[in-house]
């Protein structure tokens, strides 16, 4: 089996973690699911030899893990700076810019205390990653980010635009 097909199967597993993250309302549960997904996605990008995206996803796993315990703006800026340095070091053109932009938006999201702003920034970051994944020819990763975006949008509507609160698994 080729590395490409293995990478696509890893994305399918990551999709599972992304989707269940939207059944939680609490920051910690959402971010823990995204941590697991990040490990799988980083491996996917490494198999495709997309080093900027792989490096940024490794940073993302540590970022998500850190943000479970802290929402410090200092840590947010530290992870943004690391993302920029990683993208500069592994620079490969437009895909590096897109993946770095996605990583920065999602870094800002991970360190937000309130779920509403977290979801808004995650959607912007997901849009950057959709374009990146399209350009690196990873159909499963494109599908994953589209599902992530749509699920996030649905949860955002449910939690912040509708008047009736929805039930969370955490209650």
Quickly count: other Cβ atoms within 10 Å of residue 94's Cβ. Answer: 10
User: Pick from 149, 145, 147, 120: which is nearest to 135 by CA?
Assistant: 145
d(CA 22, CA 53): 23
Q: What is the pLDDT of residues 152-161, one digit of tens each?
A: 899 899 889 8
Question: Residue 60 — φ and ψ, nearest 5°?
Answer: -60, -40
Q: What is the DSSP letter of 165?
A: P
Q: What is the pLDDT of residues 40-62, one digit of tens each?
A: 999 999 999 999 999 999 999 99
Q: What is the pLDDT of residues 102-120, one digit of tens each?
A: 999 999 998 998 889 999 9
Q: Where are the alpha helices (DSSP H) in 90-135?
A: 94-110, 115-135
Query: Which residue do the tokens 């994944």 mark?
Result: 133
Q: What is the DSSP letter of 111?
A: T
pLDDT at 147 over 90: no
Write down the pTM of the prediction.
0.85
């Amino acid at each position: 089996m080729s590395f490409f097909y293995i990478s696509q199967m890893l994305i399918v597993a990551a999709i599972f973690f992304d989707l269940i993250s939207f059944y939680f309302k609490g920051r910690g549960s959402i971010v823990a699911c995204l941590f697991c997904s990040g490990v799988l996605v980083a491996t996917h990008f490494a198999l495709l030899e997309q080093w900027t995206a792989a490096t940024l996803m490794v940073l993302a796993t540590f970022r998500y893990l850190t943000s479970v315990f802290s929402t410090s703006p200092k840590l947010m800026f530290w992870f943004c700076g690391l993302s920029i340095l990683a993208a500069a070091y592994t620079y490969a053109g437009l895909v590096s810019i897109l993946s770095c932009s996605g990583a920065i938006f999602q870094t800002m999201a991970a360190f937000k205390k309130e779920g509403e702003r977290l979801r808004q920034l995650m959607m912007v970051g997901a849009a950057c990653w959709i374009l990146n994944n399209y350009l690196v020819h990873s159909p499963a990763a494109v599908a994953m980010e589209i599902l992530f975006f749509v699920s996030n949008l649905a949860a955002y509507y449910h939690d912040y635009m509708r008047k009736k609160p929805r039930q969370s698994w955490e209650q």
